[in-house]
Structure 1
Amino acid sequence: MSRTGWARWLVVVPMTLLALATIYPLIFTANVAMKTRREYILDRFSPAGVLHWENLATAWNSVGMARYVANSLVVVTSSVVLLLLIGSMAGFALSRLRFRGSGVIYLGCLAALFVPFQVIMVPLARIMGDAGLVDTYPGLVLVYVAQFLPFTVFLMTSYYRTIPPEIVDAARIDGNSVYGVYRRIMLPLGRPALLSVGILDALFCWNDVIISLLMMPSADHRTLMVGVTALRGQYSDDIPTFASGVLIAAVPVLAVYLFLQRQIADGVAAGSTKG
């Protein structure tokens, strides 16, 4: 075998094994979700003989997954809208407007990317509790915006810096104000980056557990991932029902990755563009 052939196999084999290791947990979960409790106890690894779709219905109705999904949709939608609005404005200002302290603000956003949430969670919980925002949708949305805004500003600033400055100068000569340039020029040109960053922010908020668990202690306000985590203790003796809840939570994320993987990759690559 030629050197090129060996090099190709050295890449294909590890990537195939990695893909199988990634896909197998999802297949195993789906298989368990289709079994009865007795079938799971007798043999958890064998394929399900009969598909028991009622497990999904039980997880959706009896366990309260529908309420958890609705809570997540409200919080994630509100958070992403605010993140894109504030992030696009800040990215435009930091990339195209010259004002005192702009460099310090940008470096502050970069520094905030390296601060783990666990470092600030205790003082944050006290502040939000004193403000009466614990166990409220606005409180969780504000925390999500504060947590993921540096990432959004960083990517939007990097993208806007790739736009030729002559476009902005021409718009200003035509009589547009700063807000007019943002609304008529930069916002339409930034749609690819906004789509990519919006998808990433939505995935971050949707998959979050620790922030939601800290800010939403009551069962009625739980988001989907926290609700799935709580199922493990509530249905520790009914693993198929628990697996059904996990499968329901995983399907939206899997669908986003399958249909929007190119936009996700573009969003990750946007921050590596040299401004």
Structure 2
Amino acid sequence: MPGKRLSRWVAAVPMALLALATIYPLVFTANVAMKTRRDYVLDRFSPADSLNWDNIVTAWTSVGMARYFANSLVVVTISVFFLLLFGSMAGFALSQLRFRGSKLLFLGCLAALFIPFQVIMVPLARVMADSGLIDTYPGLILAYVAQFLPFTIFLMTSYYKTIPAEIVDAARIDGNTTYGVYRRIMLPMGTPALLSVGILDTLFCWNDVLISLLMMPSAEHRTLMVGVTSLRGQYSDDIPTFASGVLIAAVPMLMIYLFLQRQIADGVTAGSTKG
């Protein structure tokens, strides 16, 4: 019995410290956002005297965070929609349809996961510039879909491989076409994986800075994370306003983590099941 208690403490103490190290930056940022500039200069680590929402209102209205938020919302929503659509179609084809070169295509998608974006960013920028897609929403959406589609295909293929082939054969016997099998059978059965992968893709697109900074050079079309990054230079002497911008960017993703953490964990482990 003492040995079990000791083993629990050995596991609990490091995990508690890790949780504290994860939570503290968010708590510190929220505390700074509630302070006036004078209070922050006098003592940056002391608790705020009251809930002062003026900095958050200023960041949302005057600084332009509302526009950046809307830009991110539009781009991320459309990007995730196409990622799930193309990823589920490709996952169904690579896992359940028998055609020449399917394994090679899957290996190609798997190999694309190991290519850093920094390797392809210069050719991508030149192609997008020649196509007139720089500083446009379609250009950024296309870049997100191209960057995160291999990951989506990999997870959806791994999930669809766990579905017995007999279900697909039975659907064909009932008269369904290939598209009918995908729409009536595979899409409903793949809902848990689509939800998990969709959450992960949302996190990837929302938190991205490099691709958005490359594709959207103008201030008007900046996404939220790029806008927060630009605040650091514009408001270097007004840290509470900068902290308010960081808080605005972090809250949506924090809500996703809090309420959908099980789906996120399922998405991370979706590719580990053996089909």
Q: Into which bin does the TM-score normalised by the smaller protein fall?
A: over 0.9
Partner of 1:229: 229
Q: Does 1:158 align with 2:155?
A: no
Q: Secondary structure at the match of 1:26?
A: helix
Question: Where do 1:99-178 residues align within 5 Å?
Answer: 99-178=99-178
Aligned-partner Cα distance in 1 for 2:7–2:122: 50
Unmatched runs of 5 consecutive residues or more in structure 2: none
Partner of 1:246: 246
Aligned-partner Cα distance in 1 for 2:38–2:184: 62
Q: Does 1:197 align with 2:197?
A: yes
Partner of 2:40: 40
Letter paired with 1:131: S
Aligned-partner Cα distance in 2 for 1:19–1:50: 26
Partner of 1:184: 184
Residue deviations 1:135-187, cap 9 Å, x none? 00000000000000000000000000111111100000111110010011001
Partner of 2:263: 263
Letter paired with 2:170: A
Q: Secondary structure at the match of 2:162?
A: coil
1:50 to partner: Cα distance: 2.1
Aligned-partner Cα distance in 1 for 2:248–2:79: 22
- Larger mean CA deviation between 121-130 and 1-10 belongs to 1-10
Aligned-partner Cα distance in 1 for 2:248–2:175: 52
Letter paired with 2:41: I
Letter paired with 1:13: V
| Count of equivalent residues | 275
1:83 to partner: Cα distance: 0.3
1:195 to partner: Cα distance: 0.6
Aligned-partner Cα distance in 2 for 1:37–1:145: 41
Letter paired with 2:37: R
Q: Does 1:80 align with 2:80?
A: yes
1:14 to partner: Cα distance: 0.1
1:4 to partner: Cα distance: 1.4
Residue deviations 1:32-81, cap 9 Å, x none? 00000000000000001122111100000000000000000110001000
Q: Secondary structure at the match of 1:162?
A: coil
Q: Secondary structure at the match of 2:237?
A: coil
Residue deviations 1:239-265, cap 9 Å, x none? 000000000000000000000101111
Q: Does 1:211 align with 2:211?
A: yes
Letter paired with 2:121: M
- Say what the alpha-carbon RMSD is for the aligned residues: 0.7
Q: Secondary structure at the match of 2:272?
A: coil
Q: TM-score, normalised by structure 1?
A: 0.99
Partner of 2:58: 58
Q: Does 1:11 align with 2:11?
A: yes
Letter paired with 2:106: Y
Q: Secondary structure at the match of 1:17?
A: helix
Unmatched runs of 5 consecutive residues or more in structure 1: none
Letter paired with 1:59: A
Aligned-partner Cα distance in 2 for 1:180–1:53: 53
Aligned-partner Cα distance in 2 for 1:245–1:54: 12
Aligned-partner Cα distance in 2 for 1:16–1:80: 34
Aligned-partner Cα distance in 2 for 1:217–1:3: 59
